[in-house]
Amino acid sequence: MGNKNNYYKETKLMHAGRNPDDYFGVVNPPICRTSTILYKDLDAYFDPNTKFRYGRVSNPLSNAFEEAISELEGGFHAITASSGMAAISTTLLSFVKAGDHLLMVDSCYPPTRFFANKQLRAYGVEIEYYDPMIGAGIKDLIRDNTAVIYLESPGSATFEVQDVPAIVKIAKAHDILTIMDNTYSAGVLFRPLEHGVNISVQSAAKYLGGHSDVNLGVAVADTETHYKILKSCAMNLGTCAGAEDLYLSLRGFRTLEMRMNYAQKNMHSILAWFEKRKEVQCLYSPILETNRGYDLWKRDFSGANGVFSVLFRPEYQREDITRFVDSLALFPVGSSWGGYESLIQPQDMKSYRSNWTEEGFFLRFQIGNENSKDLIDDLEQGILNLKA
Ligand SMILES: Cc1ncc(COP(=O)(O)O)c(C=O)c1O
């Protein structure tokens, strides 16, 4: 085999985290269910180089997944967790302590905000929310006790794209750690560590798993030092991942880019359809010139995924939106995104954002891998029900 570091991303996605020779030629690393791992003798128990010691801490399958995602994101190594939220909370707990100041992007995934507001504040961490478009202006918010700047780009639901290099530059100058939620990009559309971010976190329940049937989270560290801090906190918290979820998400690597490309293509068609609808007040997607950070998305990202949001005109009340949504055959209401089927989820923006003043019903659309003509036909018939 050639030097795997030189392969293009598509090739890396086919090979990352697997070595068939380890399993008698079996193509995919098999499900490994284990708590106890036996040592061959007492010397092996005391040998610091013994690779696998206890299933919760590390096992052949969790290690295979962690190697694969570290290769994709260009990091030193990773930890895996039972969900994206578990990876996020473990990562934050690894790098903040009582008395620290945490700068958190206002457009973060709402449960990340709830965790910071409830748990971290109770442990004595000061949380300050900053505008996702702040860029280098973040320097004005830095205090002596600022320990971490947390980014998520594009932001949840409204997809603001942050100036990651500008923020990282300020963070490095002040010796502040940066963590970025990279779930939107799945490690494919944007690689935070290449831009100097220290830790990239993701929910693998989205595009990595890709089939709405796994709960898994991952955090990739840039250096051995940061990895060791992360791993030790993960071990102390008991953070680990289920075998089946690891297996399915690692298998998801092989089709990840194809699924994302197809979802992106479909998303373009559906978004174009919404652009012509008079019922719409505003559309949110990084690919729109009207979106905050559009130029940064063009500069830094290699594409978009299948998710966007629609703010309807304020004259449409909850009962109007209900008639529209409930009449759709191909857009069930459901949380999450990155799976193969299209979904709709309402977002209560006023309770998630510091200064949300827009009126109107807000729906997030996840576009799947159906034929876009069927999706548009469904929307065409559904929109007729918006007004009674
Ligand atoms: C951007 C983002 N980050 C993190 C998460 C949390 O992932 P999980 O549901 O696996 O805990 C989600 C879930 O929707 C998300 O959208």
Q: Where in the sequence numbering do the catalytic residues fall? A: 56, 109, 181, 206
For domain 256-383, the question of CATH label 1.10.520.10 is answered with no
pLDDT at 239 over 50: yes
Structure tokens at 232: 């030790």
Q: What is the mean pLDDT of residues 357-376?
A: 97
Q: Of the residues 89, 104, 206, which should be mutated to test ligand 1's pocket, given the most ligand atoms within 8 Å of the CB? A: 206
**Model confidence pLDDT, tens digit, residues 61-93:** 999 999 999 999 999 999 999 999 999 999 999
How many Cα atoms sit within 13 Å of 140 on the Cβ side? 7
Kindly list the distances between the CA atom of residue 340 and the CA atoms of 7, 206, 207, 242, 291, in Å, as whole numbers in the listed order. 28, 10, 9, 22, 26
Give the tens place of pLDDT for each residue, 159-175: 999 999 999 999 999 99
Encode pLDDT of 94-142 as tens digits: 999 999 999 999 999 999 999 999 999 999 999 999 999 999 999 999 9
Direct distance between the N- and C-terminal alpha carbons of the chain, in angstroms, rounded to an integer: 64
Helical H runs in 129-210? 164-173
Note the pLDDT tens digit of each residue in 287-331: 999 999 999 999 999 999 999 999 999 999 999 999 999 999 999
pLDDT above 70 as % of the chain: 99
Q: Does domain 4-252 have CATH number 3.40.640.10?
A: yes
Q: pLDDT class for 22, splitting at 50, 70, 90?
A: very high
Instruction: Answer whether 84 contacts ligand 1 (Cβ < 6 A).
Output: yes
- Residue spans of the domains in the chain: they are 4-252, 256-383
Could you tell me if the CB of 203 is within 6 A of ligand 1? yes
Ligand 1 pocket check for 208: Cβ under 6 Å:
no
Protein residue whose Cα sits closest to atom 14 of ligand 1: 336
- How far is the C-alpha of 16 from the C-alpha of 9, rounded, in Å? 10
Residues with Cβ within 8 Å of residue 154, at least 6 apart in sequence: 160, 161, 184, 286, 293, 297
What is the predicted pLDDT for the residue at 1?
45
Residue scoring higher pLDDT (254 or 2): 254
Please check the confidence at residue 211 and state whether its pLDDT lies above 60.
yes
* pLDDT for residue 3: 67
| pLDDT exceeds cutoff 80 at 4 | no
> Quick one: pLDDT at residue 134?
98
- On average, the pLDDT of the chain sits at 97
| Global pTM value | 0.97
